[in-house]
Structure 1
Amino acid sequence: MEGLAVFRGATAHPEEANCECHWGSAEELALLKVPDIRLAPDLLRRTWQPSDWRDHGSVLRRILPQLAGALVDSRSESFRDRDEIGLSLARGNWQDWPREQAAAVREFLHAFWAHSLVTVGPVGHVSLTLALCVEASGELSPWLDVWEALEHPMADRNLAEAVDTWDYDLLADELPWSTWSDKDEKLALLTAWLTRHAPARLRASNAPDDLLQRLRLIGLTGPARWHDPHWPGYSY
């Protein structure tokens, strides 16, 4: 997270405002206009979460070093809210920030993603990190490319867990996280990548046959999927 030092000294716009009855007090708002003061976890959440800041980008720049630290802490609220934080980053249009700042965000996302892939964590932690990266960047393929290129036992274990986590949604032709754009395109990319890349990798890591069968079903469509003898009996 050293690259995020570029945001030290950042503040929200001097004229930034929000509704006291819905967001917080004038004293809390004033903290966003003073650099580098740590915010209480609840205030941090209330700061990245709203969609009605006048200058969402400046608010995010104010909190990014602390928010990044919370994201990698499995005990934090932010760790559990990664998919929503990805949407907040997208609203901030971080790709259009000054070059050094945009590069720092990109570097953090890539480092956080690579770290998540080789880390043991709570069930679904890789799925949430992927959702964060995809929603923040608006792209899916680059993150899947990193996973595909990474030869590591934990990356294989996390792939098996992701298939086990995602199959209920994917078998209903639904993307396994909420997205702000291009849902059908992301669903098609994820399905194609899993059915092309995951079977051999999961067989090599001795994944159970039940999981491999559900993965195979993701590659089928219509009656061929539902009438297959290995259909898991899901009801929707």
Structure 2
Amino acid sequence: MSSVAAEVPSHWDDFPRLYRRLAARIIRPVVTGQFHVDEELIASRLVEAGWTTWDTPLTEAVRDVWYAWWQATLHTHPSPVSIRKTLSLVTVATGSLRPWLDIWTATPTSTADAHLADLLDDVMVEFEITDLHMGFYGEYHASDELLGWLLTDVRQRVNDARLEDPYLLEQLGRATQHPG
């Protein structure tokens, strides 16, 4: 299943149909951390398969999985899949980061905050957050949205001096002056 899930779409005659048929068998082990394919690649493949255009019951079921998985991740630390990989998959698959950040903001628990610290440790290496792309092919540019969220919405939940760096504050200022 891993090789099918990771294969380039052009390898298959009807890639969207194949991925739709295998979606449950791909997504189930991904969310439990038991799939040996990069989560960001799975997100990219789902987008390429046009999962949001599938029949409504299947699309709704997949969307429900994303929300349930995100909630479970925020309430389990450590989680089977890293917070960055989970956030990246749901963001790229749905084409939006903000709903996931809003759920995180509304989850002021010690486990959610532990994930917040983990994400910071991950994206603050060499200030990667200032040019952060999500997805296997970097489809989603997350820097401005994520940095703004970290420096405003959840700032009081993070005890990390790196967020006080003038360079980050300058980046946030630029992003708010020139959104998009």
Q: TM-score, normalised by structure 1?
A: 0.64
Q: Determine which structure has the larger helix proportion and give its number.
A: 2
Structure 2 unaligned runs (5+)?
Answer: 172-180
Name the amino acid aligned to 2:67. Answer: H
- Give the C-alpha shift of residue 171 in structure 1: 5.0
CA contact (8 A) 1:163 1:215 kept: no
Q: What residue is the counterpart of 1:214 in the other structure? A: 162
Instruction: Give the aligned length.
Output: 167
Map 1:1-236 → 2, pairs under 5 A: 44-49=1-6, 50-52=8-10, 53-78=12-37, 81-121=38-78, 125-168=82-125, 170=127, 173-175=130-132, 177-178=134-135, 179-183=137-141, 186-202=142-158, 207=159, 212-217=160-165, 219-221=168-170
CA distance in 1, matches of 2:123, 2:133: 6
CA distance in 2, matches of 1:182, 1:158: 21
Alignment RMSD? 2.2
Greater relative contact order, per chain length (Cα 8 Å cut-off, separation 6+): 2
CA distance in 2, matches of 1:73, 1:171: 27
Structure 1 residues 220 and 158 mapped into 2: Cα distance closer, same or farther (>3 Å)?
A: same
Structure 1 unaligned runs (5+)?
Answer: 1-43, 223-236
Structure 1 residues 105 and 115 mapped into 2: Cα distance closer, same or farther (>3 Å)?
A: same
% identity of equivalent residues: 25
Name the amino acid aligned to 1:187. Answer: S
Secondary structure, in 3 states, of the residue corresponding to 2:9?
Answer: coil
Structure 1 residues 66 and 182 mapped into 2: Cα distance closer, same or farther (>3 Å)?
A: closer
Name the amino acid aligned to 2:103. Answer: V
- Give the C-alpha shift of residue 172 in structure 1: 6.5
